[in-house]
Amino acid sequence: MKIDDIIIEKLINLKLQLEKRDNQAYVFFETVLKELELIDKKNIAIEKIKNCYAITQYANFNDKEEKLLDEIIEIINTDG
């Protein structure tokens, strides 16, 4: 599985977890997922993800959601 596929799979999982809890932060990740599909917006989407960790506090993420976002950011930072 490619790194991009892993990131997308984890983002979808995070979005679904947030949506299930009716946490409106899911909209941010929904938008980022759409941007990742567009070649001209992919780098912008990656930067948004790299810099969004504060959302875990402001959007009241639970431990599982916070850990998942941490994993996503770590994969992105490790990949380059």
Residue 67 has pLDDT above 80, yes or no: yes
Q: Over pLDDT 90: what percentage of the chain? A: 91
Paired tokens of 60: 């009241």
List the helix and strand counts (H, then E) for the chain. 5, 0
What is the mean pLDDT of the segment spanning 23-50?
Answer: 95
Give the C-alpha separation, 5 to 10, whole Å.
9
pTM of the full predicted structure?
A: 0.92
Residue 66 has pLDDT above 80, yes or no: yes
- Range of the structural domain that residue 49 is part of: 3-79
Give the C-alpha separation, 4 to 76, whole Å.
9
- pLDDT for 24 equals 97
- pLDDT for 1 equals 60
Domain count, the chain: 1
Where does the pLDDT of residue 80 fall: very low under 50, low under 70, confident under 90, or very high at 90 and above? low
